[in-house]
Structures are given as C-alpha cells and as structure tokens.
C-alpha cells in the first residue's frame, strides 16, 4: 500500500492525519456556517408558503422580470467580456494596467455606491439627453443597467482566464497558414473558449440575480414595475412578512444551486465564479 493511501509522509513515515484533521477543523467552521444558513432557511418555510408565493401576482412579476433582466444582462456581459478578455490576455498595450484596475472597480466598490454613481450619471446633461428618448432611472432599463454594471466585471475576469488557458501557438499556426487575425480568432480561439463563454454567461446571470444595492438605489422598489427577487425580499421584510421573505430566499437558493451545478458540470473548473 502506498504512503499516500496510508496517509503518511513518504520521507518521514509520519502520519498526515493530525495535519489533515486540523485543516478540516479550521475550514469546517465556514462550511458549517453555510450549511447552517441553508438548512435554517429551508426549515423556516413550507411547500405551502412557496405555493402561496407563486400565486401572488406581484411575486410572479418579480420572478418574470428577474429572469428576463438577468438573461439580457448575461448576454450583454458576454458581449463585452469576450473582446475585453481576449485583449487583456493576448496583448500588451499602454494603459493596460489602468484598464485592469477600472474593470475591478465594480467588484470592489460597495453595491450602494455603484447604484448612486449610476443615478448621478443619468442626472448629468448626457444622461438626461438619453432619458429624453428612453426613460432609464426608476424604470425597467435601470434594472438591466444596474445588474450589467456589476455582472460584466465578473464575466470579463472569467473570459480572461479562459483565453489565458488557450495556448497562443495554435493561433500562430493558423496565422502562418494564411488566416487573418480575425479568422484565427473565430475559427481557432473562440471554439476552444466555448466553455469559458458558458461559464462567463452563467456567472454573470447568477451575479445579476443576486444584485440588490445598485437596483435599490438606481431602480427603486416599485411593486409590479421595477421589483426583482432581491428587492422582493427587502419589501417583504419591510412589511414584516418574514414568511414571504424566507420563501423568496429559498426560491433564490434553489436558482443559485441550479446555476452553480451548470457551472460545475459544463463550465471550466478553474474559472473563477467571483463574489464579494
């Protein structure tokens, strides 16, 4: 039997069990906290509460708007993440470090600050000019913009990792065989990055689903109009409806588990999911 299977260090013959147990104990507190939160959430509601939740017209609208806005946000996030991730992965250019820092700002800024920045942006003359044609602030477009402002940053990071994992050699071979740079990208690089694209879109979708701060400030919490699932939890709590808030949170946990399962099964194992 090998030393690895016996749980011993090959050079000394000493058991690794105490070390592994110590690691498990130190890290296990956080795992137990997550499990405890999920179990407590599930046990605090019943199928009847969930069914009553789904029969509520405002809640159904919230679910519908969440699904639609998150899907649009994911598509837009991938749309910008693919070119930005490719540029950051393949090229060195002046201002790259600054661009890298700018793309991290939505990740590190407090969510409420992002919402406030968006609100101020659309209060400037250019922003008011846009709103002469399309109402943005405290309207449905603001929900998508608020979600996109944060989710796209995570999608860009995911796509950069995806392109970093693809060897430039195959792209160079395609160029020597007569392909242009764009042809090499579309025919060689992007097909290999398809799992990264799926992961980036899924991560952006999941991030948008949980976005609360920017939506609260920039879109408001109007029932039946700009209400999405995170703001539904807030509204339920503000009306002292703990059962409703718990039921919505359980629904969001189920959605999160499904999304994470998709990432784990079909996405890149080394791509970062991201979070705050």
DSSP codes, 19-74: HHHHHHHHHHHHHHHHHHHHHHHHHT--HHHHHHHHH-HHHHHHHHHHHHHHHHHH
135 domain residue, yes or no: yes
Residue 161 inside a domain? The answer is yes
Count the neighbouring beta carbons within 10 Å of the beta carbon of residue 75: 13
pLDDT one-digit tens code per residue, 221-250 = 888 899 998 998 888 888 777 777 888 888
d(C-alpha 266, C-alpha 203), whole Å: 12
Is 12 domain-assigned?
no
* Terminal Cα-to-Cα distance of the chain (whole angstroms): 44
Within-domain flag for 236 = yes
CB-hemisphere CA count at 13 Å for 159?
A: 31
Sign of the dihedral defined by the CA atoms of residues 27, 264, 102, 93, in that order: positive
The pLDDT assigned to 8 comes to: 59
Residue 212 lies in a domain: yes
Per-residue pLDDT band at 38 (split at 50, 70, 90):
confident
**What is the residue range of 156's domain?**
50-266
Does a structural domain hold residue 13? no
Q: How far is CA 104 from the centre of its chain?
A: 14
Instruction: Say which CATH number the domain at 233 has.
Output: 1.10.3720.10
266 band by pLDDT with thresholds 50, 70 and 90: low
Contact (Cβ atoms closer than 8 angstroms) between residue 269 and residue 162 = no
The pLDDT value given to residue 270: 41
1 within a domain of the structure (yes/no)? no
Whole-number Å distance between alpha carbons of 265 and 5? 28
Domain membership flag for residue 216: yes
Tell me the pLDDT tens digit for each residue of 134-170. 999 999 999 999 999 999 999 999 999 999 998 888 8
**Number of domains present in the structure of the chain:** 1
The model's pTM: 0.82
């Amino acid at each position: 039997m090998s030393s690895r299977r016996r749980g011993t260090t090959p050079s000394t013959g000493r058991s690794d069990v105490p070390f592994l147990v110590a690691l498990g104990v130190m890290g296990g507190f956080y795992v137990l906290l997550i499990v405890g939160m999920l179990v407590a959430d599930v046990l605090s509601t019943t199928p009847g509460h969930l069914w009553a939740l789904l029969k509520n017209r405002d809640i159904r609208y919230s679910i519908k708007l969440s699904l639609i806005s998150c899907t649009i946000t994911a598509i837009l996030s991938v749309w910008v993440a693919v070119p930005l991730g490719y540029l950051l992965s393949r090229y060195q250019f002046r201002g790259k470090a600054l661009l890298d820092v700018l793309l991290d700002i939505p990740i590190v800024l407090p969510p409420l600050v992002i919402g406030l920045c968006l609100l101020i942006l659309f209060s400037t003359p250019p922003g008011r000019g846009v709103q002469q044609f399309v109402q943005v602030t405290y309207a449905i477009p603001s929900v998508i913009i608020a979600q996109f402002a944060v989710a796209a940053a995570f999608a860009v990071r995911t796509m950069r990792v995806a392109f970093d994992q693809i060897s430039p050699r195959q792209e160079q071979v395609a160029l020597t065989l007569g392909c242009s740079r764009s042809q090499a990208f579309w025919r060689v690089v992007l097909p290999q990055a398809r799992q990264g694209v799926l992961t980036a879109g899924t991560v952006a979708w999941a991030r948008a689903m949980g976005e609360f701060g920017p939506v609260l400030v920039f879109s408001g919490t109007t029932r039946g109009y700009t209400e999405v699932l995170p703001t539904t939890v807030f509204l339920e709590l503000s009306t002292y409806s703990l059962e409703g808030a718990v039921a919505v949170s359980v629904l969001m946990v189920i959605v999160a588990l499904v999304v994470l399962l998709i990432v784990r099964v079909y996405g890149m194992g080394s791509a970062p999911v991201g979070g705050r």
